[in-house]
Structure 1
Amino acid sequence: MKSRFIRPAVAAFFLLLPLLPAQYAGSSPVDEARKQGFDDIDEQACKGWLEVLAGPAMEGRGTGTKGYLKAAKWIAARLKAFGLEPAGEQGSYFQWVRLVRFLPNQQASKLSVGGWSRKGGDGVVFESCEGKAEGEAVLIRGRGRDLSLQDPESLRGKVVILSVPLRDYFRSPLRKQIREAAPAAILRIVARAAQRRGMGRYQLASAVQMGAKLEDGPARKLLKKLGLPAKLAAHPKNAGLEVHPSKKSVRLTVKAKKEEIKSPNVLARLEGSDPELRDEVVICGAHLDHLGKRGTTIYPGADDDGSGSTALLALARAMKTNAKRPRRSIVFLWVCGEEMGLYGSKWYVENPLFPIAKTVCELQMDMVGRNEEKGNERPEDNIQTIHLVGSKKLSMDLHQLVLEENHHVGFEFEYDEEDVWNRSDHYNFAEKGIPIIFLFSGFHPDYHRPTDTVDKINFTKIANTARLMYLVAWRAANRIERIRHDGELSK
């Protein structure tokens, strides 16, 4: 991928970043109980840490790679040097996440209804999975971004056949409903079922989904065998959702080559000071992974999410440095697999090292090191801005706490990026009913490109993100009253 040139005005702006003040203008002093840790957050330290994390030795920190493991060990070494307690498995700083991927043998795999069967190839491609699955078939046809089932639980154990445009499927509630219903398999009707040449993408070992892609011809034949009109294979022209159950069963038999790896989440804890409250935790999080290497090209991920990982490191050191500890414990969590599909955080909430019921809130930092640059917005117009995402969905109490603590930092909050609500690791915590906040400084032209490099980072913004999250975490952990939960998750 070709490098992108920075406009001269933008380049000049980045040269001025070290001259920017620490806290933004108009911010108020911090109380003595938290001032020692607050003052410990240092932009130069952040710069040094990020230069390591986004440096060539880490090779883009791709989950499952040597570069990612090197980054995880480097973070763990910093935590040990800070004097923070390991919070991983078996007294370590690591929680190991199991990932698998498959290369299906298409000709040895088949799709069957009664005595009729179809092997892989020529319009049928089996997904990255292995094993056997069988269940009654249900055809779901739809179009539109608001597709939602009235009774998604009825899909449990069924073979779901989808005739829905891919864009609508991924953007509507339908995908989540189907996934949570745990169907036996998912068959997607697509315009072209391309066969992957190499191994499929990694998945959580605990959540491998049986499935296949079918082109129109094989899909029509399958529907006929199921007693359904063949014309229903076509995506509907009008918006809406249709459900067509069949009493006949579909069987999938998939044979594949399997590859399994483990990749660590990194965790440390600062124990709370109150014997009655220290078993409750406030989790502060970021994702350590990025895109790794593609060929010989390294994707350094300085902003995504080297910036959040760096801010979390600064926050962790500040908490340990501060003489007065909060009543509850603080957990610092760097997850793997975010770029693959929020895998590290999904694994954590399914295998929590601290009980979900004892988790007060989760505070997420993802891409907090740049000034938003999109459309007609220039980076120099967004020096103090940051997006506060999802803070009103589960706890207005937590939202208000963030607003109050921001008086000490001075961010200008924006609320126009709610579309990224489900695109970082806080989402898996919110799905468990845990109040969250998500700080995100916005998109820019270097997003997911090899040009996401350290020289373009606003270290004042990283440090101020760490300062704000330090204050919010300390106060949420120190209150006698636990953060109030507003009830059902607001979508």
Structure 2
Amino acid sequence: MKITLIISLAILTLSANAQSPKFKSKYLNSIDSTSLKQHVYVLASDSLQGRDTGSEGEHKAARYIVNYFKSAGLKPFNDTTYLQNIGLWSWRWDSFQFKLKDKQLIHYEDIVYLSTAPIEPSISSQCIFIGNGNDSITDHLNMKNKIAVALADNLNSWYSLASKTKRDGAIALVMVHQSDSDAFSKLSAQMKAKHNKQSIYRSRPSFSNNLTKAFAISHDCLESLFNNSLETLSGYQTAKAIKQLPQPELTITCPIIIEKANANNVAGYLPGKTKSQETLVISAHYDHVGERYDGICVGADDNASGTAAVIELAKAFAPLKGKLDKNIVFLATSGEEKGLLGAFYFADHPQEHVFNIKANINVDMIGRIDSTHKSNYIYTIGNNHYPEFDSLLHVANNLLTPITIQYDYNKTQGFGNFLRLSDHYAFHRINIPVLGFFSGLHPDYHKPSDTPDKINYREMEQRVRLIFTTAFLATQKTAFNTQDD
């Protein structure tokens, strides 16, 4: 694009008001901190369980967003439904079964599975005690087709020993912490939270029968297995002594359920005044990371804040239905935390709608004040690639009480390349101009402590008003229609 075109963009944009509505501050009146706070508190409530992709908590959030899109007068994105299934698969654990001779072991109380490899049908084999798993012991034991049981100093570092015993012929490894009686219960709580979540895949998952299988057991369970105390078993340091121990039979079943994931984008659109189908997409992801062993990650800033902004923007734009030069699609995506899956799906499936997407504004984490600021700022992402968007942003900022525009996250590389780390990247990669809004990182990121009480709603209101004004200018006829020479 020529420099002269960039410099004159503001004049061209404002001159287009002969055909388009002129910006008026009254359009901003419905954007207020009270409404934003209400949305954040609902979306980041414990009842939504962290809005994990495809979960019931996320479905509740989707229904909430749909209701507000309807009340704003948005039309379903494909004129049929506000929900766009994003074509994912999921797997989750079914009922674990463990049987020691005639006794049923209780999952999470006696034993816990550490691997991700399903075990179905059951495996049933003798258990062989191998002490601490040193070569001086295992080299003299026959582990072929048996379940190796070992003492360990760290139940989380199981893979190396599990691989070693597998090479020696064992079909699974069972570990017990040799000193810390609380280690099992702590690990079990972590694994229970992990097992209660479904895993999401782009395509139907498959599993090799050859995957390593590892378990942890409690001290009491170990003593039941071998009819000896932990202290006694710790004294067995030779293969000759270990061979005198019983080898009880353990039967294990760890089945999974594979099914299509019910994970959906929520999308509605505000029709413009022309039939060209030129469209601005305003997006924010509404999913989060769900529940962990230490609590529910409610995701107030990430990204109830961005979702609340999109809901408020839909309400604010509602009086302009049929008056703007471009349609506006309001898009709340699923699967962002799994790898921008919902945004990729929307961008890669134009056959599911009629829109000619000219630009994307993405809102991800706009509710907090980071450690380098006190107030009155916003980070923007992508505008270093799209000078026209940057010009629109500054025109918009000058129509309001200006806030400081920060470019720091446009400069990062590698994993810190924030252009690639949120939904705007799905559009950028197919050469659609993007502009991301972001208030910066904080210590509560992806933790249960990212709660609604930590949001600065007055600051958030000013940011949403800037986003509205930038979006308003982006819907003008002249915006994103200039040609390179």
Of 199, 202, 205 in structure 2, the residue corresponding to residue 204 of structure 1 is 202
Alpha-carbon distance, 1:201 to partner: 3.4
The aligned residue for residue 405 of structure 2 is: 413
Cα separation, partners in 2 of 1:354 and 1:36, compared to 1, 3 Å: farther
Structure 1 segment 72-221 matched on structure 2, within 5 A = 72-88=62-78, 91-101=80-90, 201-205=199-203
Matched-pair contact (CA < 8 Å) for 1:371–1:383: yes
Matched-pair contact (CA < 8 Å) for 2:359–2:480: no
Residues 1:401 and 2:399 are matched in the alignment: no
Alpha-carbon separation, structure 1, partners of 2:454 and 2:272: 37
TM-score by length of 2: 0.60
Of 45, 48, 56 in structure 1, the residue corresponding to residue 35 of structure 2 is 45
Cα separation, partners in 2 of 1:428 and 1:335, compared to 1, 3 Å: same
Q: Over residues 453-475 of structure 1, what are the superposed CA-to-partner deviations in whole Å (9 max), with x where a residue is unaligned?
A: 11110112322222122112221
Amino acid at match of 1:308: G
Cα separation, partners in 2 of 1:273 and 1:446, compared to 1, 3 Å: same
Residues 1:54 and 2:44 are matched in the alignment: yes
Of 25, 49, 65 in structure 1, the residue corresponding to residue 55 of structure 2 is 65
Q: Over residues 429-461 of structure 1, what are the superposed CA-to-partner deviations in whole Å (9 max), with x where a residue is unaligned?
A: 111110000011001111111111111101123
Unaligned stretches of 5+ in structure 1?
1-29, 105-124, 129-189, 216-254
Matched-pair contact (CA < 8 Å) for 1:102–1:256: yes
The aligned residue for residue 370 of structure 2 is: 372
The aligned residue for residue 450 of structure 1 is: 448
Alpha-carbon distance, 1:214 to partner: 11
The aligned residue for residue 282 of structure 2 is: 284
Amino acid at match of 2:383: S
Alpha-carbon distance, 1:193 to partner: 9.5
Alpha-carbon distance, 1:202 to partner: 1.1
Alpha-carbon separation, structure 2, partners of 1:286 and 1:302: 13
The aligned residue for residue 383 of structure 1 is: 375
Cα separation, partners in 2 of 1:268 and 1:257, compared to 1, 3 Å: closer
Alpha-carbon distance, 1:270 to partner: 0.6
Cα separation, partners in 2 of 1:103 and 1:270, compared to 1, 3 Å: closer
The aligned residue for residue 181 of structure 1 is: none
Structure 1 segment 327-346 matched on structure 2, within 5 A = 327-346=325-344
Q: Over residues 175-232 of structure 1, what are the superposed CA-to-partner deviations in whole Å (9 max), with x where a residue is unaligned?
A: xxxxxxxxxxxxxxx99998999698312238x79999999xxxxxxxxxxxxxxxxx
Amino acid at match of 1:417: Y
Alpha-carbon separation, structure 2, partners of 1:323 and 1:36: 15
Q: SS of the counterpart of 1:417? A: helix
Matched-pair contact (CA < 8 Å) for 2:364–2:422: yes
Higher mean alpha-carbon deviation, 425-434 vs 190-199, is at: 190-199
Alpha-carbon separation, structure 2, partners of 1:354 and 1:426: 19
The aligned residue for residue 141 of structure 1 is: none
Alpha-carbon separation, structure 2, partners of 1:213 and 1:38: 60
Of 444, 465, 471 in structure 2, the residue corresponding to residue 473 of structure 1 is 471
Cα separation, partners in 2 of 1:368 and 1:83, compared to 1, 3 Å: same
Residues 1:258 and 2:258 are matched in the alignment: yes
Q: SS of the counterpart of 1:284? A: strand
Alpha-carbon distance, 1:323 to partner: 7.2
Q: SS of the counterpart of 2:262? A: strand
Cα separation, partners in 2 of 1:212 and 1:192, compared to 1, 3 Å: farther
Alpha-carbon separation, structure 2, partners of 1:408 and 1:32: 12
Alpha-carbon distance, 1:321 to partner: 2.9
The aligned residue for residue 27 of structure 1 is: none
Matched-pair contact (CA < 8 Å) for 1:68–1:289: yes
Alpha-carbon separation, structure 2, partners of 1:101 and 1:293: 17
Alpha-carbon distance, 1:420 to partner: 1.4
Q: SS of the counterpart of 1:464? A: helix
Alpha-carbon distance, 1:258 to partner: 2.9
Matched-pair contact (CA < 8 Å) for 2:313–2:464: yes
The aligned residue for residue 179 of structure 1 is: none
Amino acid at match of 2:38: G
Alpha-carbon distance, 1:49 to partner: 1.4
Matched-pair contact (CA < 8 Å) for 1:396–1:486: no
Matched-pair contact (CA < 8 Å) for 2:288–2:299: yes
Q: SS of the counterpart of 1:50? A: helix
Alpha-carbon separation, structure 2, partners of 1:407 and 1:192: 63
Amino acid at match of 1:302: A
Q: Over residues 91-122 of structure 1, what are the superposed CA-to-partner deviations in whole Å (9 max), with x where a residue is unaligned?
A: 11110122224589xxxxxxxxxxxxxxxxxx
Alpha-carbon separation, structure 2, partners of 1:459 and 1:85: 29
Alpha-carbon distance, 1:324 to partner: 7.6
Matched-pair contact (CA < 8 Å) for 2:300–2:452: yes
Amino acid at match of 2:25: K
- Count, aligned residues: 326
Alpha-carbon separation, structure 1, partners of 2:393 and 2:206: 39
Alpha-carbon separation, structure 2, partners of 1:341 and 1:323: 33
Alignment RMSD: 3.4
Matched-pair contact (CA < 8 Å) for 1:59–1:293: yes
Matched-pair contact (CA < 8 Å) for 2:370–2:442: yes
Cα separation, partners in 2 of 1:444 and 1:36, compared to 1, 3 Å: same
Amino acid at match of 1:363: I
Alpha-carbon separation, structure 2, partners of 1:192 and 1:347: 41
Q: SS of the counterpart of 1:478? A: coil
Unaligned stretches of 5+ in structure 2?
1-16, 94-114, 119-158, 164-171, 173-190, 213-254, 411-416
Cα separation, partners in 2 of 1:205 and 1:435, compared to 1, 3 Å: same
Structure 1 segment 219-230 matched on structure 2, within 5 A = none
Alpha-carbon separation, structure 1, partners of 2:454 and 2:484: 39
Alpha-carbon separation, structure 2, partners of 1:340 and 1:486: 36
TM-score by length of 1: 0.60
Q: Which structure's CA Rg is the greater one?
A: 2
Amino acid at match of 1:462: M
